[in-house]
Amino acid sequence: MLNFDVDRFVRIQSDALAVEPRLKEVVTDLVNGGAENLFFLGAGGVMFLTQPAFQLLQAKSLFPVYYEMGAELVERGNPRLGERSIVVTPSLSGTTKEAIAALEYAKKAGATIITFTGHADTPLAEMADHNFTTFAEDDTSSEMFYLETLLVALALMNARGEYDAYDETVAELKQLPALLVDVKASFEDRAAALAEEIKDEDYHLITGAGSTWPEAHYYGMCILEEMQWIRTRPVHASDFFHGALELLEDGVSIIILNGEDESRGLVDRVIEFAPRFTEKVRILDTKDFELPGISQATRSLISPVLLATVFERLSAHLEVLRDHPLTTRRYYKKLVY
């Protein structure tokens, strides 16, 4: 596979899943100790990676859960954030200034803070009551944060008696690192072909629903826009028919992400519609990826993980074909803003 270190990838994802015993203990103690709500709180695109866990808790648990953009929370507040709140914040660098300000705000409110970082000895690691540092870099962090925040949701529901298959699900998740390598390998030829196909295109609609929507938003904003300077229009599949459909015509590219949760039908509707008006329809469907030994119940939880892992292959080819390294920036962390 192009520019890919198998051992490094497996090690990083295995280390991410290895936080499970301590994370389960922390979450269980907080729930049993009287926690009343949970906030996913942070800044930037990494927050999108917490949305599948947030959605899972919204749909399957009666425990109050909130999703807050850190900068906005600091400006307007939230009366539900307090001493019986759990705050979960991911940050690869551990230094994002908006996330630091948000955690300072949460600490003043008395919340218990859990952070997931890619580096220790950083402000966000040190501010936490419970920090889980797993070394990662941009090309491996999406899967890592998806999995770690999923473990938070599963542990919380398990502690409340709302999820009976915790042990079975965790056992299956721990098989994923090696299986994801196989998924990448199976997608490599398609990634190369797709990169060649889109390398000169400067605009894409990108859509998904349920747990695939956060990955559509993330890949459009944080990879294609930030790292490749390609304009995108991320739009939720259920909103597609309230505006974005009018942009479809010959030559317009649409990238459609389909997963295996209850929202699949919303994406199917776009898949049926789009080819009537543009020939540039690119569909990534997690059902196409083989995962031996992984149950359908677990597959329904990890659609964004699968999409992130194959998108990394597309990105690896794009940066070579476009002679535009993924690390190149003009403004991001280059200027004061």
Q: Which residue has the tokens 């459009």?
A: 220
Q: Which two tokens stand for residue 178?
A: 């090696």
DSSP 95-130: --HHHHHHHHHHHHHT-EEEEEESSSSSHHHHH-SE
Looking at residue 63, what DSSP letter applies?
S
176-321 is classed in which CATH architecture? Answer: 3-Layer(aba) Sandwich (3.40)
User: Angle formed by the axes of helices 138-159 and 6-17, to 10°?
Assistant: 20
pLDDT tens digits, one per residue of 205-257 = 999 999 999 999 999 999 999 999 999 999 999 999 999 999 999 999 999 99
6-173 is classed in which CATH architecture? Answer: 3-Layer(aba) Sandwich (3.40)
Cα distance between residue 101 and residue 17, in whole Å = 28
Considering only CA atoms, which of 224, 203, 220, 201 is closest in space to residue 212?
Answer: 220
Task: Give the pLDDT of residue 306.
Answer: 98
**pLDDT at 336 > cutoff 90:** no
Task: Give the pLDDT of residue 337.
Answer: 86
Task: Give the pLDDT of residue 67.
Answer: 98
Strands 281-285 and 253-258: parallel
- The domain ranges of the chain are 6-173, 176-321
Confidence of residue 277 (pLDDT cuts 50, 70, 90): very high
pLDDT tens digits, one per residue of 132-157 = 999 999 999 999 999 999 999 999 99
List the beta strands (DSSP E) in the chain.
37-42, 65-69, 85-91, 112-117, 130-133, 203-208, 231-236, 253-258, 281-285
Considering only CA atoms, which of 13, 31, 56 is closest in space to residue 297?
Answer: 56
Task: Give the mean pLDDT of 270-292.
Answer: 98
Considering only CA atoms, which of 168, 136, 175 is closest in space to residue 154?
Answer: 168
**Helix (H), strand (E) at residue 172:** helix 166-173
3-state SS class at 1:
coil
CB 100 within 8 A of CB 123: yes
Q: Which two tokens stand for residue 290?
A: 């083989």
pLDDT tens digits, one per residue of 82-140 = 999 999 999 999 999 999 999 999 999 999 999 999 999 999 999 999 999 999 999 99
Cα distance between residue 165 and residue 114, in whole Å = 24
Considering only CA atoms, which of 94, 42, 89, 45 is closest in space to residue 68?
Answer: 42
* 6-173 and 176-321 in the same fold: yes
